[in-house]
A and B are shown apart, each in its own frame.
Chain A
Amino acid sequence: MSVFFILISASILIAGGFLLAFLWSVKNGQFDDDYTPSVRMLFDDKPAREKNTTSTPSINQTNP
């Protein structure tokens, strides 16, 4: 019946692993914003158009 002890320790270990994963995710900020990610995942990534990188974008217009 010592298999009980092995199983119990295994189950506690696995559960503890999940707890650590949870604590890590909180620390990582995954619970700080529960709305934006749900919107973000729906954005399509269009392939970027070939762009002339040397042209300074119209940011200059910010100070006309």
Chain B
Amino acid sequence: MPTTTIAETTEICYHCGENCDHSIKAEEKFFCCEGCRQVFLLLNENDLCNYYDLDKNPGIRAKGRFVSGRFDYLDDPSIIRKLTRFTDGKQTHVVFSLPQMHCASCIWLLENLHKIHPGIISSKANFQRKEVFIIFDEALTSLKKIVGLLAFTGYEPYISLQDEEAKKPVSYNRKYIYRIGVAGFCFGNIMMLSFPEYFSSGNIEQKGLKEVFSYLNLTLSLPVIFFSASEFFVSAWKGLRQKWLNIDAPIALAILVAFGRSVYEIISGTGPGYLDSMSGIVFFMLIGRWFQNKTYDSFSFDRDYKSYFPLGVTVIKEGTEKNIPVSSLIKGDRILVRNEEMIPADAVLMSPEGNIDYSFVSGENTPVLKRKGELIYAGGKQSGGAIELDVVTPASGSYITQLWNNEIFHNRKNQDKSFIHPWSRYFTYALFTIALLAGTYWYNTDPSRVWPVITSVLIVACPCSLLLSATFTYGNMLRIFGKNKMYLKNAGVIETLGKIDTLVFDKTGTITHNQSAIVRYEGEALNATELNIIKTVSRQSSHPLSKIISSDLQKRNSDRFLQVNGFREFAGMGVEASVADITVRLGSSPFARFITEKDFTTEDTGTHIYVSLNGELKGNFTVSNDYRPGLRQVAEELEKDGYNLHLLSGDNNHERKNLEELLGTEVPMLFRQSPQQKLDYIKSLQDQGKKVLMLGDGLNDAGALQQSDAGIAVSDDTNLFSPASDAILHGSKIGQFGRLLRFARSGKPIVTLSFILSILYNIVGLGFATQGLLSPLVAAILMPASSISIVIFVTLASSFSARMKGLEA
């Protein structure tokens, strides 16, 4: 039996690890496809097989991705100029984003490109940013050839209009690293130089030594005040100008008071000041900010449609093909779009027919058959042979990009300001009251101590511990979310997630697998030959459903295709063909039964395909969505937690029954929703006072993601493109979503607890300060001790909370 022999001899591809048979081999190794074999041969020829030793089957399947002329637009000098970072005619520097980079082998191969191609002088990979920096010699190679080589080996660079327009800035993190470094240096040295003072309780015998220490400290504190701490002053000032007292304002005040009092003490020779405590606290707060802002370099959270659109397009002018940048496409241009390429502009089909996959734009699961003369909207992908189209509206004004003209994309998302800001305000009011009361008391008992007491109160009780609690809690939570494959844009999203009460799901690609479908057969059992016949016939048809059936049958039966005679396609009904003297009909039920009722209604033809052999009805195939595992459970969990669930789909409603089974019957479900309708639906929920979270994928959800309070893009390959969102969730983790939300809600209680802890420290500190007993030594012990214990507490608490909720920590 052919099916069993296949099973016994299944091998995995030496290059990419896919299942394969014995038909394609080289050097005693088996490959799933010619593409993989070619890559292996190339690497083997250049002595780069180390690639296969570092990781097992590290390759990326290259099958069918390669079309000649695809990168021709990279010969365009204006595009070359935009993509290269530097060139002197000899050496050219270019940075490519390679989302496929996934293992040590990738790094190794990408850094050994010069061994394959002599024109490449050097290449350096950055794994976290998923980028490769290539220096090449323009005399020996070209940008197009390098991109071709990368694509050939499976690492096709991600090039988009957006990169072209705004090159990625150099890592933003450096700013913090500089500041932390300087603050740490000054803090350590000031601390060390203050020791003699502390241990001799202020009586240093050596004349002049005390002054040297003090002035050195003062000098060392200047970089802390003017460089490291500058962001607190800037932020406080910005807040005050907008009449908004943020947490940085009291912090800036405390830093200034500590610095001012220290300067006074040093100059007047009355004491050493609090410079060590001050620089220490700046140091810790900067670390907290840096930790919280450590985001995911390789992800982009604010892509718009331009990132999805191709950079170049083939234009046919007077019979010759020419590649031009998409941006210079004008109305009336005749364009050529090949298999798997995206149509970059609204255009009229000029070829006899095209098979357009709109899943990206509309969420519709299956490709649509379009005939000559039909208008095709930008964003569709052609599957099948190359087609020619006449441009009606260029990319920037096309139907799909109109969504981006909605004002929601121009206003920055109105994120709620963190609760720590109002808290810090209450804290500040309380602090001023205490300072005032203490000042009044001392004014009546010992007026000389009024100012020392007031300043010590302000120094010791700055809300820095509140800032530390928040930054370290959220920083650690971001890390834990990332470990569980949910990548948040920033820490503010955690608080927003905690306030959500309504969840809106998209269907296609979000709760279903994007590219796969389940095919079920009902009816009389088919033998291997019959299966093969049906497979052969369905392969002939370009109808999306027959394609799905054909590829599904291929998995069960990999026999050779048979000879087909008399293939005929009946529009809207089905196909007929004769294979091995058997007449096969595939299509709607009446069609397959040879009932020639002209007026039969196409009831729900979307899902069932009937099959008949020699006029005898055998059964039918049902094509249904392949839902992600764990969906039912997560829906139950979410409903139990009190969330309202909604479903919005761009697809038709033939899946309603399955969806009701999965999500529950009381979930509102809307089908055939356009991107704009989705956005409006979210808005109407928000108008009812709901806090809405949207889960979606693809361009069709982009508006809704942007409109929602928290938009989460679901993606099976987080390295690939996802629309602008607040977070990216890996598709396989949908089942964990309930737990992730619970974890997000635990953020505020943890910050609150650690804030209470810091209040206790503050009470101790204030106890010293109001009595006028706050010596620099007490401050120097109290401040680092409280900071460090708070950091330890919130880190442990948030990790513990994640474990309690069944997440990896």
A residues apposed to B, CB below 8 Å? 1, 4-5, 8, 11-12, 15, 18-19, 22-23, 26-27, 31-36, 39-40, 42-44, 46, 48-49, 51, 53, 57-59, 61-64
Contacts and interface: CB of A to CB of B under 8 A. Distances in A.
A18 B185 CA distance: 9
A15 to B, nearest CB: 6
Contacts of A44: 50
Contacts of B555: none
Contacts of B125: 36
Contacts of B623: none
Contact of A57 (B116, B151, B177, B212): B116
A57 B69 CA distance: 19
Nearest to B68: A63
Nearest to A22: B181
Contacts of A23: 178, 181-182
B47 A49 contact: yes
Contacts of A8: 193, 212, 216
6 contacts: A4-B209, A5-B212, A23-B182, A36-B127, A48-B47, A58-B41
A26 B171 CA distance: 11
A1 B206 contact: yes
Which 6 interchain pairs have the tightest Cβ spacing? A62-B148, A49-B47, A36-B127, A58-B42, A19-B185, A33-B126
Contacts of B41: 58
A34 B297 CA distance: 12
B152 A61 contact: yes
B198 interface: no
B203 to A, nearest CB: 15
A35 B45 CA distance: 30
Contact of A31 (B42, B149, B173, B189): B173
Contact of B206 (A4, A39, A43): A4
B117 A34 contact: no
B677 to A, nearest CB: 43
Given A39-B104, A39-B107, 9 more contacts: A4-B206, A32-B170, A32-B173, A36-B127, A48-B115, A51-B46, A53-B118, A57-B42, A58-B45
A60 to B, nearest CB: 9
Contacts of B116: 57, 59
A64 B68 CA distance: 6
Contacts of B129: 33
Interface string B114-147: 0111100000011111000000000000000100
A23 B175 CA distance: 11
Contact of B148 (A1, A22, A36, A59): A59
Contacts of B189: 12, 15
B174 A58 contact: no
Interface string B188-229: 110011000000000000100100100010000000000000
B45 to A, nearest CB: 6
A39 B127 contact: yes
A46 B206 contact: no
Given A19-B185, A33-B126, A63 B118 contact: no
Contacts of A31: 173-174, 177
B428 to A, nearest CB: 34
A2 B392 CA distance: 86
Given A39-B104, A57-B117, A64-B68, A12 B216 contact: yes
B569 interface: no
Contacts of A11: 192
Interface string B61-85: 0000010110000000000000000
Interface in B779-800: none
A62 B182 CA distance: 50
B537 to A, nearest CB: 31
B74 to A, nearest CB: 12
B275 to A, nearest CB: 15
